Amino acid sequence: MNRRRHASAALTVICALTVLASPALTLRAAAAPLPPVPPAASAGTGGSLTPAPPAPRKTLEEVRREIDALYRQAAAATDAYNLAEEKAKAQSAELAELGRTIAEGRARIEDLKARAGAAARAQYRNGGLPDGAQLVLTDDPQLFLDTAGRLRQGARATKDLLIELTRSQAELDAYAQEAGENWTRLEAHRVKQAAARKEITEKIGAAERLESRLAAEERERLRRLEELAQENAQTNWLKTADLPDLTAPATEQGRTAVTFAAAQIGKPYVWGAEGPDSFDCSGLTQSAWAAAGKVIPRTSQEQWRLLPRVDVKDMRPGDLIVYYKDASHIGMYVGNGVMVHAPRPGRDVTLAGAGSMEILGVVRPR
């Protein structure tokens, strides 16, 4: 598929997508109950088999909510994974830098030791007598003055050498201790990564299994129920007093970020992905703002925590909308009440109503 052509077309229809704000949309899906699960046989008295009571039937809306909850839990775990990965990368870089510093410190200490050894060998060549003893034994006034000057210089040099050697050894010990602490933190971040990866895999797997049990017709109705829930949320949001100016202009950087994000429409969501072929929600927003020349944190939770916040009514294209109380999802506002985001596994980067999910707040990279 020609993604650039697809993205260009998406940008040109953003204004038309205010239809997302219309309460007149008639998309509906019946929340009909799913077929009951066949009862399992169980051993009764006397060796006979008696059927187990049938499991309660779930409506398609209940299934939708369960799947949505699983994907939201996976999104929160993805944030934990991404944060642990970022910290592990930073820790690895610091360890590498400390390794170079320790190597330089060891080389410096070896040089100082060599210089101290040279001074000891020079004394040995003088018959083992220190310069002070030679000074007492001389009866040459000029030699006495010259030797006295050398003694003062030598004493200062020896003192400086010992001070530098002591300081270098102390610095080397401190660097070695810091490296050990960094290694411990690195291992802790790797453990967190592994735990988050396991949770992500479990949650996504559970959601996919739940959806795979549905017939093709039910899966289509499930998708329509998702759209209906988003439509209702968008309609309710547009009725609030905090509604932004739908025609607010973007800054130059904001336009660049929006253009990049819109160009990714149609690419798949993959947890932990930062492009160029796939993205997760915060990977998309981070990459979009990187294209605009601004470095922002990697995860949606860190973007919410560290970036400047603005009122919803003041947001403009390029701002980032953070969703849910745990800040586990994020999208980019593109104007006209619409945002672009990477929704979840099994979905592609797409446009949606800015109010189609529970808004926690808005942040603005600067």
Beta bridge partners of 279: 269, 274
- Cα 164 to Cα 113, 116, 123, 156: the distances in Å are 11, 11, 21, 12
| Cis preceding-peptide flag for 244 (omega within 30 of 0) | no
**Catalytic annotation present for 15:** no
For 256-293, the DSSP string reads: HHHHHHHHTTTPBB-TT-BSSS-B-HHHHHHHHHHHTT
| CB neighbourhood size of 15 (10 A) | 12
Q: Would you put residue 58 in left (φ > 0), alpha (ψ -120 to 50) or beta?
A: beta
In whole angstroms, give the CA distance from residue 39 to residue 349.
Answer: 40
In whole angstroms, give the CA distance from residue 82 to residue 100.
Answer: 27
> How far is the first Cα of the chain from the last one, in angstroms, to the nearest whole number?
34
Q: What are phi and psi of 71, to 5 degrees?
A: -70, -35
| Cβ atoms of residues 342 and 321 within 8 Å | no
Catalytic residue among 6, 15, 189, 329: 329
Catalytic residue among 6, 15, 189, 341: 341
Give me the residue label for tokens 């910290």.
87
| Cβ atoms of residues 104 and 248 within 8 Å | no
Catalytic residue among 6, 15, 189, 281: 281
In whole angstroms, give the CA distance from residue 145 to residue 140.
Answer: 9
Which residue type occupies 112? L
| Cβ atoms of residues 266 and 3 within 8 Å | yes
- Considering Cα of 281, then 287, then 293, then 297, what sign does the dihedral take? positive
Which residue type occupies 207? A
Pairing of strands 309-310, 359-363: antiparallel
**Catalytic annotation present for 189:** no
**Catalytic annotation present for 329:** yes
| Cβ atoms of residues 21 and 337 within 8 Å | yes
Catalytic residue positions, numbered = 281, 329, 341
